[in-house]
Amino acid sequence: MPEQSPAPHRRFESRTVLVTGAGTGYGAEIAVRAAQEGARVAVHYRSSAAGAEQTVARVKDLGGQAFTVQADIAVHADVIHMAEEVFRRFGGLDVLVNNVGDMVADQTSWRDVTEESIDHVLAVDVKGTMLCVHEFGSRMLEQGHGAIVNIGSTVIVRGSARAPQYAAAKYAVLGITKSYAQALAPVVRVNTFAPGFIETERLRSRADWKAGRREDMIAKTPMGRIPGPAELAGTALFLASDDAAHMTGVYLNADGGFNMIGA
């Protein structure tokens, strides 16, 4: 299967999309895919300015429109400023994809957990996600429409002996999703998309991934492979499309059958 699945149709023609953490990895691919499907795109970054500019350049190469916006999503004032800037430049916002998250990639065991790491992961993955949903969601409510996709993880199914603070944070994203799905309904839909392992550059650089975990995961995955980030970009955006118009508060996973969640 190709790394970039073909866009079947332009689901986001004339719509506006903000993707957080879109300077690198999965976020960059979601932003580019949104542009391929007709969206004007805001590319958020915290410190990857060069990466964000590269994402914007990729969008423009497609003939699309994009701009960068900087914020530390764990700081409320930054999120407010970002929301104001995005709504001002776009004149509104149709879709927010909360992609930013810290999976503690350098940690190899639960024994390495530190208070500093716990505080950081919870600040970014939980507080940051909640602040973005709150600020953008309230503005979407006022404008009369909108869709929010929080990027979760299938780590919540089995937990993580490697990084329990990451599993705890991603589980909290479900609470945020369901709470705001109720609070903002029926005007704004809020859902969680949970990919399994995605073979980003960051994952490929992890010591455990290079020491046999990749092969072990492939062997345990019915689909028999680990996808790259571009392949699952359109899947995340599905939850913001008209095809998902009756979906809110949902946890949708795409992990090649590794977990097979359900009754």
Domain with residue 80: its CATH number is 3.40.50.720
* Predicted pLDDT of residue 4: 52
5 lies in some domain: no
259 lies in some domain: no
* Predicted pLDDT of residue 209: 77
88 lies in some domain: yes
pLDDT band for 132, please (50, 70, 90 cuts). very high
Domain that holds residue 66: 16-254
The stretch 46-51 carries a mean pLDDT of 95
pLDDT band for 1, please (50, 70, 90 cuts). very low
66 lies in some domain: yes
Average pLDDT of every residue of the chain: 93
- Is residue 45 part of the annotated active site? The answer reads no
| Catalytic entry in 26, 45, 166, 180 | 166
81 lies in some domain: yes
- Joined together, the tokens standing for residue 172 give 């909290």
* Predicted pLDDT of residue 8: 54
* Predicted pLDDT of residue 247: 98
Of the chain, the percentage scoring pLDDT greater than 90 comes to 83
- Joined together, the tokens standing for residue 29 give 């691919």
Instruction: Report CA dihedral (44, 121, 152, 81) to the nearest 10 degrees.
Output: -30
DSSP letters for the chain: --SSPPPSS-TTTT-EEEETT-SSHHHHHHHHHHHHTT-EEEEEESS-HHHHHHHHHHHHHTT--EEEEE--TTSHHHHHHHHHHHHHHHSS-SEEEE------TT---GGG--HHHHHHHIIIIIIIHHHHHHHHHHHHHHHT-EEEEEE--THHHH--SS-HHHHHHHHHHHHHHHHHHHHHTTTEEEEEEEE-----HHHHT-HHIIIIIHHHHHHH-TT-S---GGGGHHHHHHTTSGGGTT--S-EEEESTTSS----
**Does residue 179 have a pLDDT over 80?**
yes
263 lies in some domain: no
**Does residue 208 have a pLDDT over 90?**
no
* Predicted pLDDT of residue 6: 57
Q: How many domains does the chain have?
A: 1
Q: What's the pLDDT tens digit per position in 71-130?
A: 999 999 999 999 999 999 999 999 999 999 888 878 889 999 999 999 999 999 999 999
The stretch 147-176 carries a mean pLDDT of 96
pTM exceeds cut of 0.75: yes
7 lies in some domain: no
168 lies in some domain: yes
* Predicted pLDDT of residue 100: 95
